[in-house]
């Protein structure tokens, strides 16, 4: 397996397919680089270098006890770009990965970047607050943590329903996609996934987003159950200078997996623009 070392020596798994302008994909909680299979295969076959890594404590990466926080995640992303010496890079962050990308910019700047995509991203924040009154209360995220401690396998199976909107009438259910989600989750660490709930829910990414000046695309379904559009994607698009906003109707939080033909075409158009 291909691995790189984070700044604290943690060993992290990554995939590196194709040649050309690099695209680095950051995944959702509690998944792994495998969630990006439809995108990596597509873009590696179209003259891009497609790269995705497993966040620490997720997938095949080392299961650290400490460091499962958004600042360390951003520094791990920086270590990947530095190790592979990537420049003119496109960053694509999904869900928690969007927070990772935003905080990367806040901590490491834009010198290696060409473009950014926030796909169903948790930015600028998920937690209810004075500045985000429509966000979810802390008790919601406490419920996630309680579920992990009680029966994390069942929690992942339940989470897959809202991740892909399989709990909605008329949505065709793919058992294979559900099983893939569960398998990715079970590869990871209980401790890392428990800590990651705070990492994706509690940070405020407002100031990170304001630092972005490279071309940026915000992609979000207005019917996203996992990360509601009205207090995430809609707000992100307003905070990022000259951001493009692409919204969808009737798609799920996991739309890049359930509708890859549509999402890949929109990504390609942005990359080539």
Residues forming the active site: 95, 224, 253
Scanning 164-250, the segments in alpha helix (DSSP H) are 175-187, 190-201, 206-210, 233-239
Contact 12, 4 (CB under 8 A): yes
Residue 116 burial (C-beta neighbours within 10 Å; 0-12, 13-18, 19+): buried
Contact 183, 216 (CB under 8 A): no
Q: What are phi and psi of 248, to 5 degrees?
A: -135, 155
Nearest partner of 111 among 77, 86, 80, 133, judged by Cα: 86
Distance CA 105, CA 118 (A): 13
């Amino acid at each position: 397996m291909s691995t790189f070392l984070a700044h604290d020596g943690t060993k992290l798994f990554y995939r590196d397919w194709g040649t050309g302008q690099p695209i680095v994909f950051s995944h959702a909680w509690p998944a792994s680089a495998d969630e990006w299979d439809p995108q990596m295969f597509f873009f590696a076959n179209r003259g891009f270098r497609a790269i995705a890594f497993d966040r620490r404590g997720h997938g095949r990466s080392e299961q650290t006890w400490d460091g499962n926080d958004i600042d360390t995640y951003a520094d791990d992303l920086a270590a990947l770009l530095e190790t592979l010496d990537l420049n003119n890079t496109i960053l694509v962050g999904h869900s928690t990965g969007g927070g990772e990308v935003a905080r990367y910019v806040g901590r490491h700047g834009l010198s290696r970047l060409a473009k950014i995509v926030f796909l169903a991203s948790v930015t600028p924040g998920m937690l209810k607050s004075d500045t985000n009154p429509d966000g979810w209360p802390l008790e919601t995220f406490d419920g996630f943590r309680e579920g992990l401690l009680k029966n994390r396998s069942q929690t992942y199976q339940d989470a897959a329903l809202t991740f892909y909107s399989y709990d909605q009438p008329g949505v065709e259910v793919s058992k294979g996609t559900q099983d893939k989600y569960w398998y990715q989750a079970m590869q990871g660490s209980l401790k890392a996934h428990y800590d990651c709930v705070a990492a994706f829910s509690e940070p405020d990414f407002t100031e990170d987003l304001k630092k972005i000046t490279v071309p940026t695309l915000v992609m979000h379904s207005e019917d996203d159950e996992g990360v509601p559009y009205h207090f995430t994607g809609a707000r992100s698009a307003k905070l990022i200078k000259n951001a493009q906003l692409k919204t969808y109707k009737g798609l799920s939080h996991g739309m890049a997996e359930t509708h890859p033909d549509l999402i890949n075409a929109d990504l390609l158009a942005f990359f080539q623009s």
